[in-house]
Amino acid sequence: MNLRGRNKVDPSFNMSSMTDIVFLLLIFFMLTSTLVTVSAIDVLLPKAGGKTENNTSIAVTITKDSDFFIDKTKIASNNLEQELLNKVGAEKQKTVVIRGDQNVPYKNVMKVIDIANRNKLKMILAVKGR
């Protein structure tokens, strides 16, 4: 009596489908890793328009001789905060543009930045373009 079945099961394993899956995963991870940004901080950058309004900003200029000017008026350094607040007004909607000479001491620029931070004013540090 023959107890063996007619259907023989082949015990070998075909690796071609496994290698296809591994290559697809490799390609997927290579593509998605290039889409990851290096910087973890997302910021919204402002858009520049062609026109700016002069009534929304106040220029604080510091000369190389450490003289302070608000717009074109010379101001003593000890009266700078009070004069700047008078110019800005109660709404504090105006932006302070800090224009320091390249040879001015750093502490003079920081004085204006500290005044703007203390009074919660918007500020821009003006630099020369290329």
Residue 82: give its domain's CATH number: 3.30.420.270
Q: Which stretch, 11-15, 29-33, 57-61, 109-113, has highest mean pLDDT?
A: 109-113
Residues 6+ positions from 74 with CB-CB distance below 8 Å = 67, 68
Residue 68 in any domain: the answer is yes
Check residue 54 and report its DSSP letter. Answer: G
8 domain-assigned: no
Q: How far is CA 34 from CA 6, 39, 41, 44, 76, in A?
A: 54, 13, 17, 22, 55
Q: pLDDT band for position 47 (50/70/90)?
A: low
Q: Which domain holds residue 105?
A: 62-125
At 1-24, the pLDDT tens digits run 566 667 777 777 777 888 999 999
- Computed over every residue of the chain, the mean pLDDT equals 79
Residue 5 lies in a domain: no
Provide the domain count of the chain.
1
Residue 44 lies in a domain: no
Is the residue at 105 inside a domain? yes
Find the mean pLDDT for residues 70-93. 87
In a domain, 24, yes or no: no
Whether 57 contacts 89, CB under 8 Å: no
Range with the largest mean pLDDT of 24-38, 44-58, 73-87:
73-87
Band of residue 76 on the pLDDT scale cut at 50, 70, 90: very high
User: Does residue 89 form part of some domain?
Assistant: yes
